[in-house]
A and B are shown apart, each in its own frame.
Chain A
Amino acid sequence: MLVIRRDLVDAMVAHARRDHPDEACGIIAGPEGSDRPERFIPMDNAERSPTFYRFDAAEQFKVWREMDRNDEVPVVVYHSHTATEAYPSRTDVAYAGEPDAHYVLVSTRDPEQHELRSYRIVDGVVTEEPVEVVESYMFAHTGSDDTPDCP
């Protein structure tokens, strides 16, 4: 399950709308081991294409090095589909290189109503997962060892 703050969902959808009809892409970084997306990082789609995306290699290096320094990982890797549903394409599966990430797909094919879904993609196998949108992580259920922040 992906637990994610509403403002981060809104930021992904806004990016996808802005770049439509080209695909938009980016990541949301979070502390290593937390599985909690926190820092929104829109990336350039070096392909500038309605059917393909690829992070710019120089920008990716810069962002990955920054995450290393901060002990962060890409908790969410997102991109948009601008003419099809929010389900991973064959190329999405073939190139998925982050087995620990939540792959979020945003479809902008309907100008009024976006579709947002999340997947794990590991060794060529796609598994959809539920998405829980929360206002704040403080009150979100984050696991069986959950303890309240305040008494």
Chain B
Amino acid sequence: MAVTVSIPTILRTHTGGQKSVEAKGSTLAEVIEDLEANHGGLKARLVKEGSLHRFVNVYVNDEDVRFAGGLEAAVKDGDTVTILPAVAGG
């Protein structure tokens, strides 16, 4: 089950500068574990205390995973997972 993960500029230090990488898994949580195995440090930037960081947006294809089960969101072969840091401030 290979998916393409699109990596934002700020996290590319973990992927050797690559804009997108391949990962495996049938849920977002599994994809993140697989990312961590190959690109150490990514998981801590995405997950905090068992759920997605509040200021990271993750989409499976076009859908915001917050409305699709969060870390349990299903992914399938050929899907695209997009990570975008939320643009926010005070």
Chain A interfacial positions (CB closer than 8 Å to B): 25, 27, 43, 47, 51-55, 57-58, 60-61, 64-65, 77, 79, 88-100
Return the contact of A53 from the options B55, B66, B89 (Cβ within 8 A): B89
Return the contact of A55 from the options B8, B59, B82, B86 (Cβ within 8 A): B86
Tell whether, in the assembled complex, residue A57 and residue B89 are in contact, meaning their CB atoms are under 8 Å apart: no
Tell whether, in the assembled complex, residue B89 and residue A96 are in contact, meaning their CB atoms are under 8 Å apart: yes
Return the contact of A54 from the options B10, B82, B86 (Cβ within 8 A): B86
CB distance from A67 to the nearest CB of B (A): 11
Chain B interfacial positions (CB closer than 8 Å to A): 8-10, 55, 57, 59, 62, 64, 66, 82, 84-90
Tell whether, in the assembled complex, residue B64 and residue A58 are in contact, meaning their CB atoms are under 8 Å apart: yes
CB distance from A50 to the nearest CB of B (A): 10
For the complex, give the distance between the alpha carbons of A93 and B55 in Å. Answer: 13
CB distance from A60 to the nearest CB of B (A): 6
For the complex, give the distance between the alpha carbons of A69 and B29 in Å. Answer: 28
24 interchain pairs, CB-CB under 8 A: A25-B87, A43-B87, A47-B88, A51-B90, A53-B90, A54-B86, A54-B87, A55-B86, A55-B88, A61-B84, A79-B89, A88-B89, A89-B89, A89-B90, A90-B90, A91-B90, A92-B89, A94-B89, A95-B88, A97-B10, A97-B55, A97-B85, A99-B10, A100-B9
